């Protein structure tokens, strides 16, 4: 049989593009030809890493599609979710993604890939795959647990059985007792069936159900009950091949995932080298968080009150958030990184003792892969489900008590709650238990990707399945 060729087509958002790049590199390392499809503005997210891979003899390429931003009343160059200037324009962005179909199909016709791995939101790629008789695999960018929780909520609507937003309900038919409140559900979980947004998500869901299967950035040993539950009750063909971030073995690949770091990696490592093992709190909320000045001040005060040394990644040019004298008082204890940080490199360092995270799945799994306990501070969407996996199932972290952004504008998380959660993970009687459990999952993650491990075998099965599907389609 001739060499397999995979197309990878991620949603234009850092949280989707970064794991897709890792996935393409991983597949290509097995002798498969990999091509990543994106838009001109996002080429830089991939190009440096692709060049390094090519020098190692790995066959990976990138092809560009024009994104019709201006034609959809978006600013010129608005080719990524974090660049959308206001929430009202999100629909325009997704309309523009649908308009990529014609160019995308021209590329499929030209390159004849055997398989298309595309983002869940690109539902129209199911029709493209059917048209060209190739398999489409869906990439959700989250874990089995969160999809099982979301599907149970969609099907059973347990939030309708409580009388207030703060009253908890049990999510039915799951392997563990998982409790949530309405304030932990996103607007998408609460939408009514007659709304336009429900119809859009239903379209996405129907297209995904028609696809060949689902690929996961996870590993069996992390959530075995939910791999089994997803496979049995949702009856979807699936492959767990993560943690994808572990395919980055050299310092450059770790340091430049997504964007070039705004601080030199040797500066960060030198600072960390001067600290004791498990003594640093790493604080980072991904690429999409947008805290108010008041919330930033509460976080600063909470960090200071915890008494712990820290690295804090701040993604704002506005310095009004900083409490008076904060940087001066904490200059020996804290390192503030303004902009993009080499997260995997930092988390892997032995000095890191806890990770204050928004629970985006990439960050959560990077923390797990590094064996670092977490202080969970979800902000929106399925991040609240990921939090429950960390705190209630894996028991490797504690929450600060955050709620969805629609509530957070008035509520916020207070400095006392932040300090309390950090101290609980870092220095309480429970701290050693968190560390021990986190280290055990780190070891499982490393074993999963090695030859004979669950994720290594998952990828082997995926390649065999696509090979068999391609032969059948010819």
Q: Tens digit of pLDDT for each residue in 131-173? A: 999 999 999 999 999 999 999 999 999 999 999 988 999 999 9
* pLDDT band for position 286 (cuts 50, 70, 90): confident
Q: Judge whether 344 lies within some domain.
A: yes
- Return the C-alpha torsion angle 309, 311, 317, 322, nearest 10: -10
Residue 193: predicted pLDDT: 63
Q: Is residue 253 situated within a structural domain?
A: no
Do 425 and 357 share a structural domain?
Answer: yes
**Judgement on whether residues 400 and 463 belong to the same structural domain of the protein:** no
Residue 345 is assigned to a structural domain of this protein = yes
Classify residue 188: in a domain, yes or no: yes
Q: Residue 300 is part of a domain; what is its CATH number?
A: 3.40.50.2000
Domain membership of residue 23 (yes or no) is yes
- Left, alpha or beta for 415 (phi > 0: left; psi -120 to 50: alpha)? alpha
Distance CA 469, CA 474 (A): 9
- 312 in the same domain as 188: no
Q: Is the pLDDT of residue 357 over 90?
A: yes
Residues 441 and 456 in one domain: no
Same-domain status, 41 and 86: yes
User: Is pLDDT above 80 for 54?
Assistant: yes
Is the domain of 240 the same as that of 286?
A: no
Which residues belong to the active site?
Answer: 16, 119
Residue 74: pLDDT above 60?
yes
Do 354 and 230 reside in the same domain of the chain? no
Task: Tell me, yes or no, whether 343 and 385 share the same domain.
Answer: yes
- Would you say residue 86 lies in a domain? yes
Q: How confident is the model at residue 70 (pLDDT cuts 50, 70, 90)?
A: very high
Range of the domain at 103: 5-148+155-162+171-246+450-473
Whether residue 288 sits in one domain with residue 175: no
Helix axes 14-28, 454-473, angle to 10 degrees: 80
Span 292-306, pLDDT tens digits: 888 999 999 999 999
Among 158-172, 191-205, 325-339, 432-446, the range with the most confident prediction by mean pLDDT is 432-446
**pLDDT at residue number 410:** 46
pLDDT tens digits, 231-278? 998 888 999 999 999 987 766 666 666 556 656 777 888 999 999 999
Q: Are residues 51 and 117 in the same domain?
A: yes
Task: Please give the Cα distance from 283 to 204 (Å, whole number).
Answer: 34
Q: What is the pLDDT of residue 411?
A: 62
Q: What is the pLDDT of residues 176-225, one digit of tens each?
A: 999 999 989 987 776 666 565 667 778 888 888 899 999 999 999 999 99
Considering its fold, how many domains does the chain have in total? Answer: 2
Per the domain annotation, does 410 fall within a domain? yes
Whether 130 is in a domain gets the answer yes
Say what the pLDDT of residue 409 is. 44
Mean pLDDT on 338-345: 86
Q: Report the predicted TM-score, pTM, of the whole model to 2 decimal places.
A: 0.93
Residues 50 and 198 in one domain: yes
How confident is the model over 47-54, as a mean pLDDT?
A: 88
Residues 289 and 382 in one domain: yes
Cis peptide before 237 (omega within 30 of 0): no
Mean pLDDT, the chain, rounded, equals: 91
């Amino acid at each position: 049989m001739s060499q397999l060729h995979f197309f990878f087509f991620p949603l234009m958002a850092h949280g989707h593009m970064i794991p897709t790049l890792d996935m393409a590199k991983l597949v290509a390392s097995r002798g498969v030809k990999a091509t990543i499809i994106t838009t001109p503005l996002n080429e830089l997210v991939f190009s440096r890493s692709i060049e390094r891979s090519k020098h190692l003899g790995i066959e990976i390429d990138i092809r560009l599609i024009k994104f019709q931003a201006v034609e959809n009343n978006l600013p010129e160059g608005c080719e990524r979710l974090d660049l959308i200037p206001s929430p009202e324009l999100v629909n325009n962005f997704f309309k523009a993604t649908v308009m990529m179909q014609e160019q995308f199909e021209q590329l499929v016709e030209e390159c004849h890939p055997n398989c298309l791995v595309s983002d869940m939101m690109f539902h129209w790629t199911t029709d493209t795959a059917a048209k060209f008789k190739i398999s489409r695999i869906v990439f959700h960018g989250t874990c089995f647990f969160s999809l099982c929780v979301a599907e149970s909520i969609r099907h059973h609507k347990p939030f309708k059985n409580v009388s207030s937003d703060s009253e908890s309900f049990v999510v039915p038919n799951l392997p563990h007792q998982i409790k949530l409140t309405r304030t932990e559900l996103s607007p998408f979980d609460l939408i009514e069936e007659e709304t336009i947004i429900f119809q859009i998500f239903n379209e996405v869901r129907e297209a995904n159900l028609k696809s060949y299967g689902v690929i996961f950035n996870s590993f069996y040993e992390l959530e075995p009950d939910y791999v089994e539950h997803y496979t049995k009750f949702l009856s979807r063909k699936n492959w767990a091949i993560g943690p994808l971030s572990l395919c980055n073995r050299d310092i450059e690949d770790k340091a430049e995932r997504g964007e070039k770091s705004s601080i030199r990696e040797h500066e960060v490592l030198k600072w960390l080298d001067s600290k004791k093992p498990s003594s640093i709190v790493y604080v980072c909320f991904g690429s999409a968080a947008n805290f108010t000045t008041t919330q930033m001040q509460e976080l600063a005060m909470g960090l200071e009150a915890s008494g712990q040394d820290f690295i804090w990644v701040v993604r704002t040019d506005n310095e009004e958030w900083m409490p008076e004298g904060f940087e001066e008082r904490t200059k020996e204890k804290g390192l503030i990184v303004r902009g993009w940080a080499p997260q995997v490199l930092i988390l892997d360092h032995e000095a890191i003792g806890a990770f204050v995270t928004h629970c985006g799945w990439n960050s959560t799994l990077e923390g797990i892969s590094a064996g670092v306990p977490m202080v969970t501070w979800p902000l929106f969407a399925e991040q609240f489900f990921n939090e429950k996996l960390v705190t209630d199932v894996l028991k490797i972290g504690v929450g600060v008590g955050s709620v969805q952004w629609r509530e957070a504008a008035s509520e916020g998380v207070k400095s006392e709650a932040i300090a309390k959660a950090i101290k609980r993970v870092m220095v309480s009687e429970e701290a050693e238990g968190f560390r021990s459990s986190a280290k055990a999952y780190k070891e499982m993650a490393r074993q999963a990707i090695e030859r004979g491990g669950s994720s290594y075998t998952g990828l082997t099965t995926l390649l065999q399945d696509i090979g068999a599907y391609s032969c059948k389609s010819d």
